[in-house]
Amino acid sequence: MSRTQANWSADGSYLPPIDPHTKAKHQILETYLENLIFTLYGKGRYGETTFTFIDGFCGGGMYDDKDNNIEWEGSPIRIIKAIREGYKKSRRKYPLNVKFIFIDNNQNHLDCLKNYSMPKAGLGELVDEQLHEYNGEFGKLLEECEFRCSEFENLVNECVWKIDIRKGHSFFFLDPFGWTDVSMNSINKIQSLKGSEILYTYMIDYLKRFIIGKQGQDKITFNKLLEAEGYYESADLSRLDKVGEQCYFRNESMRLFRDKGNTKYVFTFSLIPKGDVRVLYYLIHLSKNLTALEVMKETFWKENNLVFQYYFDLYGYGFKTADFYEEMQTSLMFNITKNSYDFCLEKLDNELGELIHNNQDGIKFREICHETMERNPASKEHYTRYINILRNEKQIEVWRNGKIVTGNKIILQRNDIIKLTGFKQLSFF
């Protein structure tokens, strides 16, 4: 039911080995958070100044990277450092207030984090749970850590309550060993907060084994915890090939979290183990905020190396290790020769073209993003380019404050209205 469980000794004398997909997960986490701070705090005149980060399954903070003979920093350390980087990049004069709550149900793991890993990473002063001022060159960065030894589920209400009082933006990193540690009810509560996001490790491969077998107690627990009655049930799985099966599980997972998770936007990263074709787990990003989804896509579209996922109208990016193509059966390659840029524009042409065509009196850019952002690999920049191509071909007009916007390349704003020019066919491919 759970992946190989990492264990930390309290004094850091034993650190678990790091694997490649945990490294990829860390890369996603830290790059995203740095960009999130830069976007929400650093951009615009009055950015967000209060943030709370909850690492609900934080672990001991350091791994043994045996291949490279070094230590590899874990999620709590990476979160703190990513926020500092985002803050430095922002160069803002007004203060940024950040609280980190680190939760683990194993006291040894928390001890290792506080007494070994954080001091080793140069963050030793933060373990006293007091407010500290980080010496940036710009406005103040105020940081405070809280460490809690508990089951995550038992602290969800408290966390939500604290964030509600603090206000501002919150981000939950939920990285359990298995699928039984986070309930849909908790996801719902978190998502009821204004400005909250979740990055959740969803262990689809373990789930799959028992979903296919549909066995007794596991199934009851699953349905109860994840409110999944009526999901993962309709397909004749034995008739699907490996890829079809993956697609089915992914679509059902998206449907489940969208319906039951009180969330607006669901975006996934598929993490595929070395030398395998199956998804071991999804990192699922849940948010109610279009900006958060845009930051996610902008940050990672270049690194995404699972283009084929989009051939099935599935959503999200994927990460695979370098030897993936060598080991992958050629039948799974789908003869993809297009580069990802053309692929994005083609996808947009299908989706946006239809949407614009069906709204001949005009549709807001915000509405276009809302309808389509989860379903294609394109970033906001691709949307801008695509719409500018259509404008320059005089297929559409962009209206702002009652006037047509002119110029070769315009930067789109959320309230801009996209209208068809006449009734020409919308397609340039």
Ligand X SMILES: C[S@@+](CC[C@H](N)C(=O)[O-])C[C@H]1O[C@@H](n2cnc3c(N)ncnc32)[C@H](O)[C@@H]1O
Separation in Å, CA 77 to CA 11, 21, 73, 121, 238: 17, 18, 6, 7, 43
Q: Report which of 259, 288, 320 is spatially closest to residue 193, judged by C-alpha positions.
A: 288
Q: In the complex, what is the shortest distance from the CB of residue 216 to ligand X, in angstroms, rounded to a whole number?
A: 22
Q: Which of 97, 127, 177, 349 is close enough to bind ligand X by CB under 6 A?
A: 177
- CA-based nearest residue to 175, from 85, 53, 52, 11: 53
Return the number of the residue (203 or 247) whose C-beta is nearest ligand X. Answer: 203
The CB-of-403 to ligand X minimum distance in angstroms stands at: 50
Q: Is 175 in the site for ligand X (CB under 6 A)?
A: yes
Between residues 108 and 359, which has the closer beta carbon with respect to ligand X?
108
Nearest Cα to Cα of residue 385 among 410, 359, 356: 410
Of 83-91, 97-105, 247-255, 349-357, the segment contacting ligand X by CB under 6 A is 97-105
The interface with ligand X within residues 185-244 (CB under 6 A) comprises none
Size of the site for ligand X (CB under 6 A): 17
Nearest distance from residue 187's CB to ligand X, in Å?
Answer: 14
Under DSSP, is residue 389 helix (H, G, I), strand (E, B) or coil?
helix
Strands 265-271, 317-319: pairing kind: parallel
Query: Which residue from 9, 27, 31, 105 is in contact with ligand X, where contact means CB under 6 A?
Result: 105
The residue number whose beta carbon is nearest to ligand X equals: 74
Shortest distance, position 314 Cβ to ligand X, whole Å: 25
Residues 215, 223: contact at Cβ < 8 Å?
Answer: no
Q: Indicate the Cα dihedral angle 148, 124, 68, 280, nearest 10°.
A: 20
Q: Is 239 exposed, middle or buried (0-12, 13-18, 19+ CB in 10 A)?
A: exposed
* 92, 109, 285, 347: residue in contact with ligand X (rule CB under 6 A): 109
The DSSP element (H or E) to which 27 belongs, if any, is helix 20-37
Nearer to ligand X among residue 6 and residue 426 (C-beta): 6
Considering only residues 11, 128, 151, 259, which one is a binding residue for ligand X as defined by CB under 6 A? 151
Helix and strand element counts for the chain (H, E)? 14, 15
Say if residue 429 is exposed, middle or buried (CB neighbours under 10 Å; 0-12, 13-18, 19+).
Answer: exposed
CB-nearer residue toward ligand X: 181 or 252? 181
Instruction: Give the closest residue to 104 by CA, choosing from 180, 166, 177, 2.
Output: 177
CA separation for the pair 188, 81 (Å, rounded): 28
Nearer to ligand X, 79 or 369 (CB): 79
Which of the stretches 101-109, 239-247, 306-314, 345-353 binds ligand X when contact is defined by CB under 6 A? 101-109
Q: Which of residues 34-93 bind ligand X (CB under 6 A)?
A: 57-59, 74-75
- CB-nearer residue toward ligand X: 109 or 114: 109
Q: Please give the residues from 268 up to 307 whose contact with ligand X meets the rule CB under 6 A.
A: none
List the one residue from 27, 106, 188, 291 that touches ligand X (CB under 6 A).
106
What distance in Å separates the CA atoms of residue 80 and residue 98, rounded to the nearest whole number? 9
Site residues (vs ligand X, CB under 6 A): 6, 57-59, 74-75, 103-106, 109, 151-152, 175-177, 181
